[in-house]
Structure 1
Amino acid sequence: METLANLESFVRSAEARSFSGAARRLSLTPAAVSRNVAVLERNLGIRLFQRSTRRLVLTEAGEHFLTSIGDTLETLRTAISQASGHAEDPAGTLKISMSMSLGLNYILPVLPGFLLHYPAVRVDWHFDSRQVDLTAEGFDAAVGGGFDLASSMIARTLAPAHIIAVASPAFVERQMPLRRPSDLASLNGISMRSTTTGRIRHWTMRNADGEEQPARLKEAITFNDAEPIVRAAIAGMGVALLAVPDVLAHIERGELVRLLPDWHADAGNISLYYPNKVLQPRKTTAFTEYLIDHFRRERLAARFAGNIQQGIS
């Protein structure tokens, strides 16, 4: 029977398409990973990879073998971890992806309390707005919105992702009163370019009566992340359309003013994503439950709502 090390070296090499990439994931040397894969190939009597100086390519037999393994490897690793005494106390490296503004303002504050409860957990958090591949990149979980929900992933909703229009108080004072989203077309905008598609993001806003209107701004300034857009809006450079979590603290401090408070755009949900496993690692379960409880206690779902009846006004 093959050892777990050989199987894991094969799977991680297939995901990274290189022995060096797999070695970084496994905290081994590339030579050790290559040796494990070679032993696996010898024992199976088949070639799993076509090797070149630049990357690895799965053979047809390798593709079939990888598919047949499926989630078995992760299940085995979790079972071994739990059986060896980690079931009682969550431990190990917790690798999480989240956006910068959401992470700094609403998730990082839970870290001291979480580590106080689970001191054996090591934190490896990535503040990035892109959609990560949880399995291929070795993440335990991600917090954000708009992820493609594959069958191998679970999404637990934390709060709505509502988009609202904001500007600095000084900028607002220089403008005529706005009544409808169509009025935004006359104002300089600080737009966001999608890191995935490269296109400018446009929104359709709606009010409590269900009326909808496109919200288009003059594309005076364009950035690819919410954080510089927030700073530019505070500096009085134009109007921004951003998710409530990106701007809520600045509105509460008076650095930004919400425009068109009766209107918002719906961008879906802010969710907690993690792999769908039969045996979930204790560190992941502990974090997900701790974060969900934090959102509940702080009423963040209600505070992030852009509709005036229940959220920010």
Structure 2
Amino acid sequence: MDKLRSLTLFLATCEEQSFAAAARVCNTDPSTISKAVSRLEAELGVTLFQRSTRQLKITAAGRHYAHTVRSSIQALSSCEDELRQLNDAPRGRLKVNSAVCYGHLYLRPLLKAFCQRYPEITLELSLDDMHVDIIEQDIDVALRTGFIKDSRLVARCLSPMDFLVCASPDYLEQHGTPDSRGDFDSHAWIGFKIKETQQLQPIFLPDEQGNYQLCDLHRTHITDDGEAMAQLCADGLGFAQLPHFLAKAGLETGALVSLYPAFRAPLPEGGVFAIYPKREYLPARVRVFLDFLVAALAVQQETPTHTWAEHWPARIRFDGSAEQGRTVAL
């Protein structure tokens, strides 16, 4: 058995944590997998897996070896892709991971057109709000709000992340529009809990000059799902601070009203990013996906420095004009 084949079977065993499961993935039999791993262990003089009748557990040496093998095979695959792309159209499996809300609201509606344009690309889409190691899971592109500080990765900004303080028209009609910062203490507020950290997303409200300041407000209701937060707001359960991609549909249909002009939270990682492994050659399937995504977002008035939310009309403005004939000081 050639060395590359043995290494491929070894990686499959690492991922599946079972000779039998790895055999199914590689379309072979468990004894072939076991012999390949044993041959590697004999060559290296180390134990890659601790074996028992009930489980297979990778050793520290096995993890270290797997990291190097995976990087080497990915580099080889990238080189092969480069050579194929000299004459070939973009093709092959494109594995994309996205934050759940952004994936549902922004990415998914674009995928039909992408797949029609590139029929030789097989799309594999997963949605997850938790941290995902895109190298370990062999993901081509991940779409995230905020980027991961990892020297192995490239983070390409797709758009800023603009926030809007929203409520439903029915809620404002029933409870009134706040006239001051203190008024918010008597209003219902829908808070967002970040799944990965279990912390509440901070709330920012403007002062009389329109400068947004961090505010400590009681959350009447809390959810860890962005779409649920936007819907609860549209249902009239209270105010919510929504990122532009969550607020867009409700604002366009009139189910939501933006109380103030959009703002960008003072966070160094405030934006929507396409994250992908750093490599000398970017596979054509990844390159055309990124180019398609950037062009499609531009049609929706979103660029790396701008979103449509910057120009969305607000109920209250800070230039002396307001829908209801007043400028509110908070």
TM-score class normalised by the smaller sequence: 0.7 to 0.9
Deviations 1:29-60 (A, max 9, x none): 68254443233223334322333434523244
Structure 2 residue runs without a partner (length 5+): 315-330
Question: Against the structure 1 CA distance between its residues 77 and 260, is the aligned structure 2 distance closer, same or farther, given a 3 Å change threshold?
Answer: same
Cα distance change on mapping 1:244 and 1:133 into 2, 3 Å: same
Larger Rg: 2
1:207-264, Cα deviation, whole Å (9 max, x unpaired): 7967342234432211111011111111111111121111112101101011232655
User: What's the CA shift for 1:296?
Assistant: 2.5
Structure 1 position 90 matched with structure 2 position 90: yes
Q: Which residue of 2 aligns with 1:214?
A: 214
1:9-43 residue CA offsets vs partner (Å, 9 max, x unmatched): 334544x4723698399555682544432332233
More displaced stretch, 104-113 vs 27-36 = 27-36
1:186 aligns with 2:186: yes
Letter in 1 for 2:18: F
C-alpha distance in structure 1 between counterparts of 2:24 and 2:273, whole Å: 26
275-284 or 252-261, which deviates more: 275-284
* Aligned residues of 2:94 and 2:123 also touching (Cα < 8 A): yes
In structure 1, what residue type is equivalent to 2:38?
A
| Equivalent position of 2:22 in the other structure | 23
1:243 paired residue number: 243
CA deviation map 1:152-174 (0-9, x unaligned):
11110010112221111101112
Q: CA RMSD in A?
A: 3.2
| Over 6 Å off, 4+ runs | none
Residues matched between the structures, number:
309
Deviation at 1:80, TM superposition (A): 3.0
1:171-203: per-residue Cα shift (whole Å, max 9, x none)? 111234335656433321211111111222223
8 Å CA contact 1:134–1:140 kept in 2: the answer is yes
Go from structure 1 to structure 2 and tell me whether the alpha carbon gap of 1:3 and 1:127 turns closer, same or farther (over 3 Å shift). Answer: same
Q: 2:291 aligns with which of 275, 289, 292?
A: 289
Distance in 2, matches of 1:25 and 1:202, equals 47
Deviations 1:242-288 (A, max 9, x none): 21111112101101011232655355010101111223322212211
- The answer to whether the 8 Å contact 1:100/1:227 transfers is no
Q: Confirm or deny that 1:57 pairs with 2:55.
A: no
Rounded to whole Å, the distance in 2 between the matches of 1:18 and 1:153 is 26
- Distance change in 2, residues 1:212/1:117 (3 Å): closer
Q: Which residue of 2 aligns with 1:170?
A: 170
Task: Name 1:269's counterpart in structure 2.
Answer: 271
Give, in whole Å, the separation in 1 of the partners of 2:95 and 2:163.
Answer: 28
Determine the structure 1 residue equivalent to 2:301.
Answer: 299
2:82/2:281 contact within 8 Å kept: no
- Structure 1 range deviating more: 276-285 or 175-184: 175-184
TM-score, normalised by the number of residues in structure 1: 0.84
Task: Provide the residue aligned with 1:41 in structure 2.
Answer: 41
Counterpart mapping for 1:64-103 below 5 A: 64-66=64-66, 68-69=68-69, 71-83=71-83, 88-103=88-103
What is the aligned partner in structure 2 of residue 142 from structure 1? 142
User: What secondary structure sits across from 2:191 in the alignment?
Assistant: strand
State TM-score, norm by structure 2: 0.80
